[in-house]
Structure 1
Amino acid sequence: MEMNQYLEMFIEESKEHLQACNDYLLELEKNPGNLEFINEIFRSAHTLKGMSATMGFEDLANLTHQMENVLDAIRNQKVTVTSNVLDVVFMAVDDLEAMVYSIADGGDGKKNVSEVVRLLKQIETGQPVSQEKTTTSDPSAHTGQNERTQSFNDYEQNIIAQSLEQGYSCIECKISLRSDCLLKAARVFMVFDVLEKSGEVIKSNPTTEILEQEAFDQTFTVTVITTESAEAVAAKIMKVSEIEKVETKLIDLGNLRSAQAETAAAVAEEAKGTAESEQVSLKEKKVSKSIRVNIDRLDRLMNLFEELIIDKGRLEQIAKELKHAPLTQTVEHMSRLSGDLQDIILKMRMVPIDTVFNRFPRMVRQLAKDLRKEIDFKIEGAETELDRTVIDEIGDPLVHLIRNGLDHGIESPEVRIAKGKNPAGTLELKAYTSGNHVFIEIKDDGAGINREKVLQKAISKGILSEEDGNSLTDSQVYQLIFSSGFSTADQISDISGRGVGLDVVKHTIESLGGVITIESEPDKGSLFSIQLPMTLSIMTVLLVELENEKYAIPLSSIIETLIINETDILEAHHQKVMEYRGKVVPLVFLKELFKVPLQEKSEEEALYPVVVVKKGEKQIGLVVDSFIGQQEVVLKPLSRYLGDIQAISGATILGDGQVALIIDSNAFFL
């Protein structure tokens, strides 16, 4: 059987299943007892294993099978979900991703995974995971485990039943350590030592491995079989220092079976809810119909449509010149159809931004552990859509901004507590649509940007003089961090502080026709806001004329067009300006900028058409010779042989065959 024809489908579906594993593992860490998440992960892993085996990628199938065994043990409550266990499963998912990407790049999908397989088998057999191979456990993963009565497996139930029949007591001790207890593991050891002298410990919650690693809050529960009374056992435990209180409960056969029945009922109810949700999702899947289309085909379709737009403009020009009624009507009908076709094609190219956002929760989790910080990561507006071209480019800038916010922005828990803040910092990633633009915001509630530190660093690097620095606004100072080689990090780390990155972030965003701005307040946090066009290839512009040359200004950056008299032109600080709606707006004479031959105006012609453009809160007036009108055009990049041309972002072919340069209005703002 020839498998190459299915390879592309296998790679795409494998990536989707691995992303689902990542997402549900993160949810499982927040809710360790939720059986639905485990079932979803198991389902994706099982599908991936079957696909890999069918395609002949045995290493991929074998590792997935081993991961399945651990998931099955978790599902059957033989293994407790801890941060260390999840770290190993995450390692397995990382290896699976590396193998899939190796196959996508033409490789054989083979990788040495002996270490992660060893750790998975260790977990499966109930052995403690080697701490040096995984990151520190997350204490919050076990919060609340002691609030309910412990459940016992069949073996433990038999021991308790036999002990009770022989006259022994089974006592469940809920022990709370003082909040200022420094060596929790040592106190736990002393409690176990006391209990083992009084009887036999048969169960602890959390497990002894977790207790040894101090990966729990202040409370833990131990069940002991003894001949002593509950009061005597509690009194002995209270003799251990730094114990706040001990609560005891006698377990008899009646309440033991009752507790087991409640647990079984809860599991059955959860399984029923999972089955119902699966039925609902199956119904939804039947309603939604879609096919996979190669992006190269969409690009080809877009290129053909761009040619159609150019020809449509040419036909409109011919119909206007000939003034032939049937031709004019046909062209108008064609324009309406091409408009509808444009909407469909552009929507086909639009991709939800969650294809970029969904990689960040996992990244933030790992970085938070590396930095020893507590992070509450929130995502909003992941369903917002962007052109595929923009999606492919925006991922890396967002990665750097998020890493920068975690490293420089959000303080350590100790510092936050000293400032009266919640020890867990908040990082928000938000996307939303406004007009023809998409806005992406990265907001943190950290220390904010230190204005003086940024200024001193910029002055020491020679980016600006001390006199110029004192006259800058806060917003202008914050923009300095985008300078090449700029960094305020006190020491270099793997996360940030190498003096590269933010200048590349700004360059990438501006190359996409976007803008990035910063707002910050000391000890309140920072907000990085990115403004991007929804699509890059087709745009609506205002055509203007300079002598016999035509230029296009993107409509999205225009506030207003107006005509002023020569007397309205003023001068301030050696710059031509005009008064516009109560503000002083600088004027840029495009003829002078583009070196178009100048002609004297007569007194009757002493009028100046002005296009007012904006960038954020800033405004500038572009002086032209005349307005031609609004038109949809296809943006074509300039040849690399021309290099960077000041204030020009590309060119377009008009209906009459002329080439018009497209003006980059952002270039006029410093």
Structure 2
Amino acid sequence: MDTNQYLEVFIDESTEHLQSCNENLLALEQNPHDLSIVNEIFRNAHTLKGMSATMGFEDLADLTHKMENVLDAIRNEKIEVSPEILDVVFESIDHLEAMIGDISEGGDGKRNVVETVEKLKRIENGEAINGTNEKALVDDITETIKISATSLNYDDFERTIIEQSHEQGFETYEIAISLRDDCLLKAARVFMVFEVLEKNGDVIKSVPAVEQLEAEQFDTDFSIAFVTKEDITVVEKLLGKVSEVEKVVIQKLNSEVTHEVESLVVASTAKSVEVEVPVQTTTKAVPDSTAKQVEKPTKTAHATSKTIRVNIERLDILMNLFEELVIDRGRLQSIAAELNHNELNESVERMSRVSSDLQNIILNMRMVPVETVFNRFPKMVRQLSRDLNKKVKLDIIGAETELDRTVIDEIGDPLVHLIRNSLDHGVESPEIRLAAGKPEEGHVELRAYHSGNHVFIEIEDDGAGINKERVLSKALEKGVVTPEIASKLTDNQINELILASGFSTAEVLSDISGRGVGLDVVKSTIESLGGNITIESEEGKGSLFSVQLPLTLSIISVMLIEIEQETYAIPLSSIIETSIIRKSDIMNAHNQKVIDFRGKVVPLVFLEEIFEVPRNDNEEDDFHSIVIVRKGDKMAGLVVDSFIGQQEIVLKSLGNYLTNVFAISGATILGNGQVALIIDCNSLIK
């Protein structure tokens, strides 16, 4: 069988199963006696094992099988859950994730896992537990079949059909289907099961009835009487491929008076287990196909899958094409304004409305929940806590908050560094916490939420906070600030010194944090995304790191402004308001020109000086046009010549030759074909 066509689906589903294992293992550690959690982990591992074997990744399937044996021993109460056992299971998951990563990059999924396998075997306690577990599994299957075997009762007409079918060379099977507990579209799965069966034979009875199955008026189990001349193992394999089908029990009805039932069990895509179970019945039920056919459930609206998987590269291409469309739209608007042609204006306005709707759809398609990044942190915090001998609880809030995929791709590593920093430098050891009157378990909260055109991601801990004296002395020692500047710094400015390049207060370098790198990498990455980071801290109480990010990076709304004959763009997300002031209102404070803006002293930044724009004449005006912008709680007034208006533009990079241009984050092409530089307000606010 050519499995390449299924490779992408295999990678996606395997990743989901492993993530589910991680989440449930963390839950199991908190509730070690909750066997329902163990069953959930076992089910994920079992499905992954079957999928891996089907795809031909034997190393992956073998490791999963060894891990599955340990989980089976736990759920059958042969061994008890302990942190040490969970460490080994987590280690196995790490290997499996690495294998899947290798496969996704074109590798064969092979990896040296001998040491981990040996640990799993030792936990499993050799063949003794293994044998007991297999017996328990067979007992479970036998019990299921005993229940299922008597689930169908036939009336006289149905018995006649079965007998006549048998005479014509058909066989009759009773098929018991169990769907997963979390199956969302049960009617759709039932339809798929019927479709498989009716391509290979006839359905003569279902319990519950078809109408109830269509209306999803059943829990997770249903049974079917099926007649066919096909090899039942082929049907078994096809049913095993129907997604969200957890278990299939196939029972052959023999013509002998004893009516022994030959049972085939298939769970998901795993290999089948064969068991024979005697069934006590007085019904002379024999298979065949002059069958009264049971109508297949129809494809109702609610039974249709609403989602498809799309390669992200296609979305990137779509976004690039739309960006060109936005540029052409601006050009058309400019031409229409010049010609002042009514019909042309109407067409351009309609095109603008339609393209705006299209833009919203495309941007929404690219939005991804931050959950995809947050998912890795509970496991990471658990491991770090054990490495540091600390007790830390991580709470995640707002994981459903969405960000553009390009931002999601970049934000993972900075957040990892911030969380590591909170655990290493922030949260104290249990002994120190108890001595300070705190609970011995530290608390770290990771939250995300929308605010305007931004997403805020905050990491808050109840640890020791930032020791400002220590930070200041280290900053002076490293030459980050001068003694004169240090004497004037506010508390928040001192906190933000830890973001300086090369700054670290760690006495001992470790693999966790404090490797002499500090948080400057975090700051530069976040600012390269058009965001910023702020720090609030109270010594002895804890710290709050707040990261502000734009929703998307490619198409943004800007205010176009003019300086002499040059056009610049200021992102609307940074603007508070625009204003016109008298020159007489400008004051001087600490050699800086400032204005009084609603009771706050706001410094002025003259863009013509920043960008060295040449002046054609020396005409003086009594007024200045200013744009009030902000970065966190800081503000500045950008002095410009005039306002052109608001526009949506496509953000283009300046290329490799123009990197690190001060106060410029990119450029855009305007409707008249001119290039406008996009101002980076964060660089202008100090």
- TM-score category of the 2 structures, normalised to the smaller one: 0.7 to 0.9
Structure 2 contact 653–666 (Cα < 8 Å) conserved? yes
1:498 counterpart = 2:518? no
Question: Secondary structure at 2:438's aligned position in 1?
Answer: coil
In structure 1, the residue matched to 2:609 is 592
Which of 568, 574, 596 is the matching residue for 1:551? Answer: 568
Matching of residues 213-292 of structure 1 within 5 Å: 277-278=181-182, 282=186, 289-292=306-309
Question: Deviation string for 1:47-71 (max 9, x for gaps)?
Answer: 2111111111111111111111111
In structure 2, the residue matched to 1:346 is 363
In structure 1, the residue matched to 2:399 is 382
Matching of residues 152-551 of structure 1 within 5 Å: 277-278=181-182, 282=186, 289-551=306-568
Offset, 1:104? 2.0
Quote the Cα distance in structure 2 between the aligned partners of 1:110 and 1:575.
64
In structure 2, the residue matched to 1:660 is 676
Matching of residues 71-90 of structure 1 within 5 Å: 71-90=71-90
Letter in 1 for 2:545: F
1:640 counterpart = 2:656? yes
1:31 counterpart = 2:38? no
Structure 1 contact 312–335 (Cα < 8 Å) conserved? yes
Offset, 1:361? 0.3
In structure 2, the residue matched to 1:606 is 622
Structure 2 contact 453–550 (Cα < 8 Å) conserved? yes
Question: Deviation string for 1:375-429 (max 9, x for gaps)?
Answer: 1110000000000000000000000000000000000000000000000000000
Offset, 1:125? 2.7
Quote the Cα distance in structure 2 between the aligned partners of 1:279 and 1:433.
31
Q: Give the TM-score normalised by structure 1.
A: 0.76
Which of 617, 635, 643 is the matching residue for 1:619? Answer: 635
Quote the Cα distance in structure 2 between the aligned partners of 1:571 and 1:468.
20
Question: Deviation string for 1:112-131 (max 9, x for gaps)?
Answer: 222222222222238999xx
Offset, 1:580? 1.3
Which is worse superposed, 97-106 or 502-511? 97-106
Offset, 1:579? 1.7
Structure 1 contact 400–501 (Cα < 8 Å) conserved? no
Question: Secondary structure at 1:528's aligned position in 2?
Answer: strand
Offset, 1:98? 1.6
Offset, 1:467? 2.3
Question: Secondary structure at 1:508's aligned position in 2?
Answer: helix
Quote the Cα distance in structure 2 between the aligned partners of 1:31 and 1:631.
55
Structure 2 contact 556–648 (Cα < 8 Å) conserved? yes
Quote the Cα distance in structure 1 between the aligned partners of 2:185 and 2:85.
29
Quote the Cα distance in structure 1 between the aligned partners of 2:611 and 2:405.
33
Distance 1:287 1:499, change over 3 A: farther
Q: Give the TM-score normalised by structure 2.
A: 0.74
Offset, 1:328? 0.9
Question: Deviation string for 1:607-663 (max 9, x for gaps)?
Answer: 211011111111111111110000000000101112221110000001111110000
Letter in 1 for 2:667: A
Quote the Cα distance in structure 1 between the aligned partners of 2:44 and 2:113.
20
Question: Secondary structure at 2:67's aligned position in 1?
Answer: helix
1:4 counterpart = 2:4? yes
Identity of aligned residues (%): 66
Quote the Cα distance in structure 1 between the aligned partners of 2:509 and 2:43.
42
Quote the Cα distance in structure 2 between the aligned partners of 1:292 and 1:615.
38
Offset, 1:281? 7.6
Distance 1:489 1:128, change over 3 A: farther
Quote the Cα distance in structure 2 between the aligned partners of 1:586 and 1:94.
52
Quote the Cα distance in structure 2 between the aligned partners of 1:617 and 1:516.
11
User: Structure 2: which 5+ runs fail to align?
Assistant: 134-177, 189-243, 245-302
Offset, 1:287? 6.8
Letter in 2 for 1:89: V
Quote the Cα distance in structure 2 between the aligned partners of 1:109 and 1:607.
69
Offset, 1:34? 2.1
Question: Secondary structure at 1:18's aligned position in 2?
Answer: helix
Question: Secondary structure at 1:620's aligned position in 2?
Answer: strand
Question: Deviation string for 1:175-200 (max 9, x for gaps)?
Answer: xxxxxxxxxxxxxxxxxxxxxxxxxx
Quote the Cα distance in structure 2 between the aligned partners of 1:280 and 1:641.
52
Letter in 1 for 2:315: L
Distance 1:298 1:628, change over 3 A: same
Structure 2 contact 500–518 (Cα < 8 Å) conserved? no
In structure 1, the residue matched to 2:582 is 565
In structure 2, the residue matched to 1:202 is none
In structure 2, the residue matched to 1:103 is 103
Structure 1 contact 59–111 (Cα < 8 Å) conserved? yes
Question: Secondary structure at 1:52's aligned position in 2?
Answer: helix
Structure 1 contact 352–382 (Cα < 8 Å) conserved? yes
Quote the Cα distance in structure 2 between the aligned partners of 1:637 and 1:619.
26
Question: Deviation string for 1:146-184 (max 9, x for gaps)?
Answer: xxxxxxx9xxxxxxxxxxxxxxxxxxxxxxxxxxxxxxx
Offset, 1:573? 2.0
Structure 1 contact 517–530 (Cα < 8 Å) conserved? yes
Quote the Cα distance in structure 2 between the aligned partners of 1:650 and 1:279.
47
In structure 1, the residue matched to 2:124 is 124
Structure 2 contact 498–518 (Cα < 8 Å) conserved? no
Distance 1:451 1:392, change over 3 A: same
Offset, 1:279? 5.4
Question: Secondary structure at 2:73's aligned position in 1?
Answer: helix
Structure 1 contact 413–423 (Cα < 8 Å) conserved? yes
Structure 2 contact 578–626 (Cα < 8 Å) conserved? yes
In structure 2, the residue matched to 1:245 is none
Over aligned residue pairs, what C-alpha RMSD do you find? 2.1
Distance 1:384 1:288, change over 3 A: farther
Question: Deviation string for 1:91-127 (max 9, x for gaps)?
Answer: 1111111211122222221122222222222222389
Distance 1:492 1:620, change over 3 A: same
Quote the Cα distance in structure 1 between the aligned partners of 2:574 and 2:184.
45
Structure 1 contact 122–128 (Cα < 8 Å) conserved? no
Quote the Cα distance in structure 1 between the aligned partners of 2:454 and 2:354.
24
Distance 1:39 1:280, change over 3 A: farther
Number of residue pairs matched? Answer: 526
User: Structure 1: which 5+ runs fail to align?
Assistant: 130-152, 154-273
Quote the Cα distance in structure 2 between the aligned partners of 1:484 and 1:529.
19
Structure 2 contact 504–518 (Cα < 8 Å) conserved? no
Letter in 2 for 1:394: I
Structure 2 contact 370–408 (Cα < 8 Å) conserved? yes
Quote the Cα distance in structure 2 between the aligned partners of 1:656 and 1:104.
45
Question: Deviation string for 1:541-567 (max 9, x for gaps)?
Answer: 000011111000000111111111221
Question: Secondary structure at 2:481's aligned position in 1?
Answer: coil
Quote the Cα distance in structure 2 between the aligned partners of 1:27 and 1:511.
37
Quote the Cα distance in structure 2 between the aligned partners of 1:631 and 1:287.
40
